[in-house]
Amino acid sequence: MGKLNIVGGGAIGSLIAASAQKNGVPYDCYPRDMKTMPSCAHWQNGQTTALKPAKPSPIVLPKSDVLIFPLKVYQLKAALMQWLPYLTQQPTVVLLHNGMGGLEVARDLLGGDYPLLLATTSHGALKVSTSNGFHVKYTGVGATQIGAPNVNKPSPQTLTDLSQIVPQLASAIATLDNALPPVQYQSNILKALWTKLSVNAVINPLTALHNIQNKHIAKPEFEQSRIAICDEFTQVANAYGLDFDALSVHENVLSVAKATGENYSSMHQDVAHGRQTEIDAINGYIVDMATKKGIPVPENTLLVERVKALKL
């Protein structure tokens, strides 16, 4: 089994590290700032797992290793550039982020045939600052969807099929599943990522703009905006060959908002803490893709403008 190498010291990356520690999966963390790297994780059952000391700088990784980037899309290019000289053995790279655009960044820097995996997770984690330093808190049990966008079509339909074509990628998925299960292989990972985008496009900006928890998105006062976002999303996604139904998209958004009702979205937290948001990789991505197809998306365009205005 290869080692997991986790870039950054964010909540999800730290959660993966802590779960790897708990499950006996070898790992190392490479935070941007050593001082803010969480030292332990608190689980929902009250248990605590201490993390091993982080590494200060990249090293050359063997092919059998897995390098995971659980970062914001806008952080990805700089992080990949930093690691590029150390990827001579072509270890598997995993992109794990909200929003879209990371695949394009990775292909530009790594090439279209690099052993790459795209993932999206519904696990919840919160990075907490205390008098004893930083900790990570596991806030919600979820699952991770993962797929191989650079494997030539037709895409392998099952993990067994993938293991026969690109065993390196199948092994990397197994390592991630051992660290923080369940990790579920998706033959059409782009559809899964667009599905996640549809949820983020509604919940993230509305919770950030109105300073509310996810559950409040389901209220009647937001119905008109929810429906408009979902309608525009569906038009754009389907223009790129995907197959979404606006009503089903809206129902899924409501389901997720209720299931994660007590949570504050990542964009809400970014605004609350004065950090850069991921609006460009979420609603901004929808706007960019719509522009290329000549599709008007006034609701998503307005949300991008309003969220960016919050930072002024």
| The three-state (H, E, C) secondary structure of the chain, written as one string | CCCEEEECCCHHHHHHHHHHHHHCCCEEEECCCHHHCCCEEECCCCCEEECCCCCCCCCCCCCCCEEEECCCHHHHHHHHHHHHHHCCCCCEEEEECCCCCHHHHHHHHHCCCCCEEEEEECCEEEEEEECCEEEEEEEECCCEEEECCCCCCCCCCCHHHHHHHCHHHHHHHHHHHHHCCCEEECCCHHHHHHHHHHHHHHHHHHHHHHCCCHHHHHCHHHHHHHHHHHHHHHHHHHHCCCCCCHHHHHHHHHHHHHHCCCCCCHHHHHHHCCCCCCHHHCHHHHHHHHHHHCCCCHHHHHHHHHHHHCCC
Catalytic residue among 153, 196, 292, 311: 196
**Residue 2 pLDDT class (50, 70, 90 cuts):** confident
pLDDT of residue 211: 96
Q: Are residues 55 and 152 in the same domain?
A: yes
Query: What is the spatial distance between Cα 144 and Cα 312, in angstroms, rounded to a whole number?
Result: 35
Same domain, 72 and 43: yes
Peptide bond between residue 154 and the one before it cis (omega within 30 degrees of 0): yes
Residues of the chain above pLDDT 90, percent: 84
Residues 237-263 have pLDDT tens digits of 999 999 999 999 999 999 999 988 888
Mean pLDDT of the chain: 94
**Residue owning tokens 């309608």:** 231
Q: How confident is the model at residue 125, as a pLDDT?
A: 87
Instruction: Tell me, yes or no, whether 172 and 72 share the same domain.
Output: yes
Confidence of residue 281 (pLDDT cuts 50, 70, 90): very high
Question: Which of residues 164, 187, 210 is at a domain's end?
Answer: 187
Query: Which range marks the domain in which residue 225 is found?
Result: 190-309
In a shared domain, residues 170 and 133: yes
Answer yes or no: do 262 and 148 share one domain. Answer: no
Claim to verify: residue 157 and residue 124 sit in the same structural domain: yes
Could you tell me if 60 and 181 lie in one domain? yes
Question: In which band, very low, low, confident or very high, does the pLDDT at 312 lie, cut at 50, 70 and 90?
Answer: low
Confidence band, pLDDT 50/70/90 cuts, at residue 81? very high
CA distance 61 to 87: 7
196 noted as active-site residue: yes
At residue 6, does pLDDT exceed 90? yes
Looking at the structure of the chain, the number of domains it has is 2
Q: Are 123 and 15 in contact (CB under 8 A)?
A: yes
What CATH number did the domain enclosing 158 receive?
A: 3.40.50.720
Task: Kindly report the CATH number assigned to the domain that includes residue 242.
Answer: 1.10.1040.10
According to the model, what pLDDT value does residue 122 have?
86
Q: Is the pLDDT at 65 greater than 80, yes or no?
A: yes
Average of pLDDT values for 171-198?
Answer: 94
Is residue 152 located within the same domain as residue 135?
yes
Region of poorest pLDDT, from 126-135, 176-185, 214-223: 126-135
Task: Please state which of the ranges 36-50, 87-101, 259-273 shows the lowest mean pLDDT.
Answer: 259-273
- Domain boundary (187, 202, 232) is at 187
Question: Per-residue confidence at 27, pLDDT binned at 50, 70, 90?
Answer: very high
* Same domain for 221 and 75: no
Q: Are residues 195 and 168 in the same domain?
A: no
Q: Are residues 172 and 194 in the same domain?
A: no
pLDDT at site 152: 78
- Residue where one domain finishes, among candidates 126, 161, 187: 187
Select the more confidently predicted residue: 155 or 19: 19
> Do 50 and 111 fall into the same domain?
yes
